[in-house]
């Protein structure tokens, strides 16, 4: 997720001004299943769950004979590109809230192919054996966490929600709220959990940290961080005509959070390089039954 919740109204205005690198025109090569061979999947830069899902589908489709191009882009130009047909697909639309602005603007010109994960949400997380289970308990037990709440980037939507809703809502004004970067938060999370110490951080699901560290989310009875969202696949309007078989596969695509955490952890935590393809290939072999089910 990273700073995804900051990419809303301000970036919509940029959509029309950003040049797009789209699919090339010309005679389209067709596979035996009736689909065109060339597929362009847009990937939101820095959104780990979308990167993971996109690399997974790239590998799956290339096994089936497709030529798949992944194109990194900011959020606003992706929806502009989908509406014009320059991109075929994006696998990381958060609804009903995070990407509502874009779907309100471009919804009539794109196709929502449905949700593949229903557990996307902002969280406040602690180590699994922490002696509290709810944000309502945090103020009275702040000393057990060194009176510190570890956050991410100052400009992130999660940071804003924590400052404006969580802290005043649960009386956490006396805790030190540290914001710097997601990397710094994860480093502190690792060092504290490795040492068996209590820690409280701002986080979100899906995220590989839930696979890498022993964590639990604190209950938020006041709903200060909002409801869970769903992650949807959204395509161009032409997608069904160009890829009738693939459209069916994507409509039926589901991936639960544990599977997604596992793939993300392999790609972004255990892997020391940006060469994701061999990591994804290994994950596919370890999860072959699930992967084969995606194209049945």
Q: Where are the domains of the chain?
A: 4-8+37-119+229-276, 121-217
Q: How far apart are CA 144 and CA 9, in angstroms?
A: 39
Q: Which of 93-97, 103-107, 172-176 is predicted least confidently?
A: 93-97
CATH superfamily of 4-8+37-119+229-276: Periplasmic binding protein-like II (3.40.190.10)
Identify the DSSP state of 4: G
Nearest to 109 by CA among 244, 241, 238, 237: 237
Do 232 and 96 meet the contact criterion of CB atoms below 8 Å apart? Answer: no
CATH topology of domain 121-217: D-Maltodextrin-Binding Protein; domain 2 (3.40.190)
* pLDDT above 90 coverage of the chain, percent: 78
pTM, two decimal places:
0.80
pLDDT band of 81, cuts 50, 70, 90: very high
Contacts 24+ apart (CB under 8 A), 217-220: 217/123, 217/124, 217/125, 218/123, 218/124, 218/125, 218/126, 218/132, 218/133, 218/134, 218/135, 218/137, 218/138, 219/133, 219/134, 219/135, 219/136, 220/123, 220/124, 220/134, 220/135, 220/166
- Per-residue pLDDT tens over the stretch 114-167: 999 999 999 999 999 999 999 999 999 999 999 999 999 888 889 989 999 999
């Amino acid at each position: 997720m990273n700073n995804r919740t900051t990419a809303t109204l301000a970036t919509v205005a940029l959509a029309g001004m950003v040049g797009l690198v789209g699919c090339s025109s010309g005679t389209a090569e067709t596979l035996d299943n009736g689909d065109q061979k060339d597929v362009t999947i847009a990937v939101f830069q820095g959104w780990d769950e979308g990167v993971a899902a996109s690399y997974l589908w790239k590998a799956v489709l290339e096994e089936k004979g497709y030529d798949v191009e992944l194109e990194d882009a900011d959020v606003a130009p992706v929806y502009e590109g989908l509406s014009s047909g320059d991109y075929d697909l994006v696998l990381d639309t958060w609804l009903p809230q995070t990407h509502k602005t874009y779907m309100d603007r471009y919804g009539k010109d794109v196709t929502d192919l449905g949700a593949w994960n229903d557990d996307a949400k902002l969280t406040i997380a602690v180590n699994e054996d922490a002696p509290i289970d709810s944000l309502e308990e945090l103020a009275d037990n702040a000393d057990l966490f060194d009176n510190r709440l570890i956050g991410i980037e100052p400009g992130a939507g999660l940071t804003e929600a924590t400052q404006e809703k969580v802290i005043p809502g649960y009386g956490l004004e006396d805790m030190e709220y540290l914001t710097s970067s997601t990397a710094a938060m994860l480093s502190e999370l690792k060092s504290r959990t490795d040492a068996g110490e209590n820690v409280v951080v701002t986080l979100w699901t899906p995220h590989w940290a839930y696979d890498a560290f022993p964590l639990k989310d604190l209950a938020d009875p006041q709903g200060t961080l909002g409801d869970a969202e769903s992650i949807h696949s959204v395509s161009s309007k032409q997608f069904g005509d160009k890829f009738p078989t693939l459209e069916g596969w994507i409509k039926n695509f589901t991936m639960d959070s544990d599977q997604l955490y596992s793939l993300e952890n392999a790609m972004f935590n255990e892997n020391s390089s940006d060469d994701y393809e061999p990591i994804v290939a290994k994950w596919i072999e370890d999860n072959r039954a699930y992967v084969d089910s995606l194209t049945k």
